[in-house]
């Protein structure tokens, strides 16, 4: 039976991030994807021009429809812009005893546009941290969650990850992709210790949806039964390949997307 994963997030009309990136990633990695749309964005490779929040009661209706019918093996949570939406999602996860929950606390788009209201930050920490098996903040998001400056080195990344554990997270993957270093280093901080995941940095302008794609790739791995460390390692390899293959995609006038189906398209080109 094919594993099933659900993404609870915002829709990206440009197709490179959010719900669209998550579903592409699930499909590329052999997982059936379902979705709960929490917000609509008017968005392209150049930025976000508008956000329309889905009413919380309709978010609940989507959660009920999906989880009451499908055997969901893992759940990814992305952009949730308002406290009432966050509370609706938390209630649904508790109701259906969701497992393998990956929380990507999306706060700012790659273009720099802010994607949630300030009061939502505390609600995410209070309502969703206890329900998530892993949270995946980038450097800026970790700083916002802790009201601290952005980490500038691995020691500071580790310290912020440990601080997030202290306020309720079970495991934290601090993503260092935005750091100006030769290698893209992510640190997994757990109560049992710290593990380092590294990849050669890909020089490309096409990075739209990178964070969404990595977290949904981890979710796909968990849905397929991989242990957390193995799911992260596989996801890191996948996103590196998607970045490398996306260098020359040429989609849009701004920051283009990564190439979610790079493995499939390469096989098709050879057939």
In the chain, how long is the greatest CA-to-CA distance?
52
Q: Could you say which of 24, 125, 170, 175 is catalytic?
A: 175
Contact by Cβ (8 Å): 194, 158 = yes
Q: Could you say which of 25, 45, 85, 212 is catalytic?
A: 212
Exposure of 19 in the CB half-sphere (CA atoms within 13 A): 16
Does the active-site annotation cover 210?
A: yes
In angstroms, the CA 239 to CA 256 distance is 14
Does the active-site annotation cover 254?
A: no
- Give Cα separations from 81 to 38, 51, 119, 255, 263 (angstroms): 8, 9, 9, 22, 33
**DSSP3 helix / strand / coil % (the chain, rounded to 5):** 40, 25, 35
Q: Is 143 exposed, middle or buried (0-12, 13-18, 19+ CB in 10 A)?
A: middle
Contact by Cβ (8 Å): 185, 233 = no
Q: Could you say which of 60, 75, 210, 219 is catalytic?
A: 210
Q: Minimal CA–CA distance to 103: which of 167, 181, 169, 202?
A: 169
Does the active-site annotation cover 161?
A: no
Q: Could you say which of 136, 207, 213, 219 is catalytic?
A: 207
Q: Could you say which of 33, 78, 161, 211 is catalytic?
A: 211
Does the active-site annotation cover 212?
A: yes
Does the active-site annotation cover 270?
A: no
Q: Could you say which of 176, 177, 209, 246 is catalytic?
A: 209
Element (H, E) at 90: helix 83-95
String of DSSP letters for 131-157: G-SEE--BHHHHHHHHT-PPP-SHHHH
Catalytic center residues: 175, 207, 209-212
């Amino acid at each position: 039976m094919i594993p099933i994963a659900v993404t609870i997030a915002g829709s990206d009309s440009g197709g490179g991030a959010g719900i669209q990136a998550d579903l592409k990633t699930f499909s590329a990695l052999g997982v059936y994807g379902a979705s709960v749309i929490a917000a609509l964005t008017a968005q392209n490779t150049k930025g976000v021009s508008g956000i329309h929040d889905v009413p919380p009661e309709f978010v609940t209706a989507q959660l009920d429809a999906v989880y009451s019918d499908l055997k969901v093996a893992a759940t990814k949570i992305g952009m949730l812009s308002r406290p009432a939406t966050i509370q609706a999602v938390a209630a649904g996860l508790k109701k259906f005893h969701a497992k393998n929950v990956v929380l990507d606390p999306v706060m700012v788009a790659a273009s720099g546009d802010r994607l949630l209201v300030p009061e939502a930050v505390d609600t995410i920490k209070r309502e969703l941290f206890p329900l998530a098996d892993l949270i995946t903040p980038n450097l800026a998001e970790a700083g916002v969650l802790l009201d601290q400056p952005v980490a500038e080195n691995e020691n500071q990344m580790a310290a912020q990850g440990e601080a997030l554990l202290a306020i309720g997270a079970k495991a934290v993957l601090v993503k260092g992709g935005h750091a100006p270093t030769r290698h893209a280093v992510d640190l997994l901080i757990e109560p049992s210790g710290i593990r380092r995941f590294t990849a050669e940095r890909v020089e490309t302008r096409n990075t739209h949806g990178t964070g969404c794609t990595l977290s949904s790739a981890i979710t796909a791995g968990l849905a397929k039964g991989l242990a957390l460390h193995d799911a992260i390692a596989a996801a890191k390899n996948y996103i590196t390949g998607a970045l490398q293959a996306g260098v020359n995609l040429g989609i849009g006038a701004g920051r283009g997307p990564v190439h979610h189906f790079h493995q499939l398209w390469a096989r098709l080109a050879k057939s």
